[in-house]
Amino acid sequence: MSQKIFVLIRGPICAGKSSVVKDLKKIIPNSSHVAADAIKRSIDWRKATRWRSELAFKTVIFLTNELIKFERNIIIDIHASKLHEYEYYKNLAQENGYHFYSFLINAPLEVCLQRNKKRVIPDVDYVISDQEIIDYWQKTVNIDSELSFDSSKFRPKEIAVNICLKIKE
């Protein structure tokens, strides 16, 4: 992968985005993952708020721009409902000569709900309710040009390998 690449991993809560990103980082050379969720947790681990999300997004943008200066390959994961973030990252990648790739990681709602019951989020002092899982899942925006993976049918590493194969095409 000699080209500069920008990979956006989208999906609802508990779809498996973080697990796929973990495996992608091992495969894609010279890559950096900018994790908005980790930034949000460092800002306030007690509750989710709109201002916390906005500040994390601005921080991700800043860090991504800095990584672009070092010509790093970029991996970012976002909730699948945030079309404005998708558009922002797509434009940022293209403006900086990066090849932009976006993938949807999804699973049936029942799978996401079951995963949430077993989920342990480090540094978080609140629970994500079933209703929040349902709301995010229902707000998933499908993008026609985007390849989608059902994480209930494939292991994260299999998805990561398939993403890399698609990038090499």
How many other CB atoms are there within 10 angstroms of residue 156's CB atom? 19
What is the value of pTM for the model shown? 0.92
Find the mean pLDDT for residues 35-56: 85
Q: Which residues contact 153 (CB under 8 A, 6 or more apart)?
A: none
Q: Treating both helix axes as pointing N-terminal to C-terminal, what angle do 50-69 and 83-95 enclose, rounded to 10 degrees?
A: 20
Find the mean pLDDT for residues 44-59: 86
Report pLDDT digits (tens) over 128-163: 889 999 999 999 999 999 999 999 999 999 999 999
Report pLDDT digits (tens) over 84-122: 999 999 999 999 999 999 999 999 999 999 999 887 766
* pLDDT > 90 fraction of the chain, expressed in percent and rounded: 79
Q: Which CATH class is domain 5-168?
A: alpha beta
CA-wise closest residue to 44 among 118, 117, 116, 126: 126
Write down the pLDDT at residue 49: 83
Rounded CA separation 88/167 (Å): 20
> Phi and psi for 42 in degrees, rounded to 5?
-75, -25
pLDDT confidence band for 73 (50 / 70 / 90): very high
Rounded CA separation 107/150 (Å): 5
